[in-house]
Structure 1
């Protein structure tokens, strides 16, 4: 007897049909189930999960993935509207990238980062081809958190100053300094007030901290607040301002061009390094290579990870200005990682950047964001009694859920969940969607190369759940 699950995920981009073990015979399903039962038992016996109370979780087993779909331990298909942790920008198991990893494994699996190797050198070239002129060198890390750690270390050593400013409603990683730079509730249990970090309010008109009623007011007041923070903290103590170009996990609040240009001007005027955290928003997620391109600004340092190779092998990094590079021309940089520029990860990056270019994935994300996601979410917001606001760009959108549209009371408290949110998430999963959820928000963040057909199928589910209940 043949199939209980049959799906071939097709991209809207010519030449990118994904095929794989997505049609299962009964025997194959039996094997998947047995494998998944054992995986779950071993997980619960031995694996410690991040951000979780260990006895209160029941993790979903993912047995297979292809294109925009993942499959659970029963072989059931789910449209991946989370891109996992907003990192599988090219979808799952892209054959070109998988093959590149295999070829690199045959050639050179790992090497001391003190040596040069072809995969790392080519990855650095391709990355810096996409950054502004004057940001020409890459320090490779294992992921986004350590990229932010090293960018801050470079800024401190370059300026001789220690404090770091970052916004509330932000996320920069979970290592010791990165979690202190983070501006969401996960910071609090880790924050002892001794990391040299200072937080400020960024612009977010829907939940304005400045009693603003227009975007122009929000921008002007947020910039004034930041400048006063700099002045009161002492300009000669501040090494860097760290900003997600568009905050990701914290809510996809797209700032105005004037705000971002104002931050750049303040940093220049006060001798502060501007670090653009592009870990989540970079490499096509917003419809451009880097999110800061939307605002016409050039940072001093750029941190990246996730989308650079879709997380197929862990990789992150820091792109630095030539001025910062010069600081370490004749002075040793006091930092390094055993796996910096790992050959398998860099080979995956080279292949990923290649297919993103050749298959027009960034253009696809920009077009579908403008022509499909924006109008459909606007229509959902108009009809739904619990959608307070939708916002975003490219394949990077947030749906703000509220108990009351007038009071804007969140459907779940900041830093937590609620029975109402849990019910919505349950309905989405039951309908075959793997969602990205944070507090009172649903994020629409599928792969950049999702087809218009699959995108609309997923949005149909969101419409049904949020409008009809």
Structure 2
């Protein structure tokens, strides 16, 4: 494994590492895991795009942890902002006006599309979804919310019901009023389309049919990830988001864009929806707003939705809504984005570096069926047969069925990179501050690792 000497934190003794592992195994209950079947890597430190364990093994973080670390580990501006805020005012209840909370809300509103200019702060993305749906139901007086099958919206009772992918299944039954639909996905088109334009048209016709069959007057909102994240990095075809907006307007339905993963620079835009010049009624955000240094999320509201609660109390709140430490990090993050022209750099890297590199990689590896993405948000879809597009592993595979992806992940880590994998895909989601050389190093490591699963392709 590619390693280098650790000089930033000093050596740890074997007893230190043993205590970390013992405490974790005995007392930490991990999410999405069978507790007795995991052995979490003890992490000793991190900086920039790298983190390392107690044996000085270094990993290039191509997953941005949970796709939240847009400015990388230990960014000095974010660390300083949190420290200075803690020294001045560590916390204050959300019922008070606070300078840093108000400033961040203004900065977000200025970067949101259209007339979305009010911000309700939450502790993360899943709560943002919960409150956006609550706002939509309160505003419209309707119950139903439509969301896509290929989606992830969070793990609370409401957001996991709204999620379409398999992690929803063991959490059922969920909240009432959720209906799922198929979004556009040309590579595996549920509509048997042969072009982006055809996929767009047929996906919109399908959604229109679902609305009609559910009763438009019963539907409060259509919720979608502007760019589908963990379920495939699915870029909407041109015209799709505008078409969803038109369906919503025709029936008095609100459009909620989930930008928890895609927002704050991941696609090269403040909000991914800006690239298609569509204005939703509500936007949810989290993750990249402050790189997760202190938990923060929120909902950006249009003037029309916000006006619903001008003289009628909004029935919801959170103790840590707009926490000053989190908001200070958010303000510093936006300043760094602006001062370094980061959005333009992300767009350049995506178009001029990542796209050609992954396209060339796909030509040499028969296991690669398609590469797709935008900015620094990419998916490499893996197949056993390019003609039939049979996935490398079955849908929702676990255990032995998922072995090829387990092997690929291990090969990436052995090459010194920490990837993001989901089902039959490997995603490239590095910190937005990644250097050109680091990005090339990560793609080369993925290139090498793919050779370990090329043998799975049918002759």
Q: TM-score, normalised by structure 2?
A: 0.96
- 1:325 aligned counterpart, secondary structure: helix
Name the residue aligned to 1:396.
377
- 1:402 aligned counterpart, secondary structure: strand
| Alpha-carbon distance in 2 for matches of 1:65, 1:370 | 28
Equivalent positions of 1:275-294 (< 5 A) are: 275-294=256-275
- Contact 1:37/1:73 (<8 A) preserved: no
Deviation at 1:72, TM superposition (A): 1.4
| Alpha-carbon distance in 1 for matches of 2:199, 2:90 | 50
| Alpha-carbon distance in 1 for matches of 2:355, 2:214 | 40
| Alpha-carbon distance in 2 for matches of 1:213, 1:145 | 35
- Contact 1:61/1:72 (<8 A) preserved: yes
- Kindly indicate whether residue 409 of structure 2 is the aligned counterpart of residue 428 of structure 1: no
Name the residue aligned to 1:29.
11
Say which of 435, 441, 455 aligns to 1:457. 441
- Kindly indicate whether residue 438 of structure 2 is the aligned counterpart of residue 438 of structure 1: no
Judged with a 3 Å threshold, the aligned counterparts in structure 2 of structure 1 residues 159 and 435 are, in CA distance, closer, same or farther, namely same
Name the residue aligned to 1:354.
335
Name the residue aligned to 2:194.
213
Name the residue aligned to 2:49.
68
| Alpha-carbon distance in 2 for matches of 1:83, 1:193 | 30
| Alpha-carbon distance in 2 for matches of 1:384, 1:272 | 45
- Kindly indicate whether residue 348 of structure 2 is the aligned counterpart of residue 364 of structure 1: no
| Alpha-carbon distance in 2 for matches of 1:41, 1:85 | 24
- Contact 2:114/2:279 (<8 A) preserved: no
Deviation at 1:405, TM superposition (A): 1.2
| Alpha-carbon distance in 2 for matches of 1:422, 1:215 | 32
Say which of 240, 256, 271 aligns to 2:252. 271
| Alpha-carbon distance in 2 for matches of 1:36, 1:120 | 39
Deviation at 1:29, TM superposition (A): 2.1
- Kindly indicate whether residue 4 of structure 2 is the aligned counterpart of residue 5 of structure 1: yes
Deviation at 1:36, TM superposition (A): 3.0
- Kindly indicate whether residue 105 of structure 2 is the aligned counterpart of residue 106 of structure 1: no
Mark the runs of 5 or more structure 1 residues left unpaired by the alignment: 7-21
Q: CA RMSD in A?
A: 1.3
| Alpha-carbon distance in 1 for matches of 2:12, 2:281 | 54
- 2:167 aligned counterpart, secondary structure: helix
- Contact 1:5/1:24 (<8 A) preserved: no
Deviation at 1:24, TM superposition (A): 5.4
Name the residue aligned to 2:457.
none
Deviation at 1:133, TM superposition (A): 3.3
| Alpha-carbon distance in 1 for matches of 2:23, 2:259 | 35
Name the residue aligned to 1:297.
278
Name the residue aligned to 1:14.
none
Name the residue aligned to 2:432.
448
Say which of 167, 170, 178 aligns to 2:151. 170
Deviation at 1:359, TM superposition (A): 1.4
- Kindly indicate whether residue 124 of structure 2 is the aligned counterpart of residue 138 of structure 1: no
Say which of 226, 236, 258 aligns to 2:217. 236
Mark the runs of 5 or more structure 2 residues left unpaired by the alignment: 454-459
- Contact 1:148/1:277 (<8 A) preserved: yes
- Contact 1:380/1:467 (<8 A) preserved: no
- Contact 1:285/1:395 (<8 A) preserved: yes
- 1:218 aligned counterpart, secondary structure: helix
- Contact 1:68/1:92 (<8 A) preserved: yes
- Kindly indicate whether residue 317 of structure 2 is the aligned counterpart of residue 336 of structure 1: yes
Per-residue CA shift, 1:348-377, capped at 9, x if unaligned?
Answer: 101111111111222221111111110010
| Alpha-carbon distance in 1 for matches of 2:16, 2:343 | 36
- Contact 1:257/1:296 (<8 A) preserved: no
Judged with a 3 Å threshold, the aligned counterparts in structure 2 of structure 1 residues 73 and 416 are, in CA distance, closer, same or farther, namely farther
Per-residue CA shift, 1:292-323, capped at 9, x if unaligned?
Answer: 01211000000000000000000000000000
Deviation at 1:250, TM superposition (A): 0.8
Per-residue CA shift, 1:36-84, capped at 9, x if unaligned?
Answer: 3311110000000000111111111111010000111212110000000
| Alpha-carbon distance in 1 for matches of 2:55, 2:90 | 34
- 2:223 aligned counterpart, secondary structure: strand
- Contact 1:273/1:300 (<8 A) preserved: yes
- Contact 2:158/2:175 (<8 A) preserved: no
| Alpha-carbon distance in 1 for matches of 2:394, 2:105 | 42
Deviation at 1:109, TM superposition (A): 1.0
Name the residue aligned to 1:419.
403
Name the residue aligned to 2:456.
none
Name the residue aligned to 1:183.
164
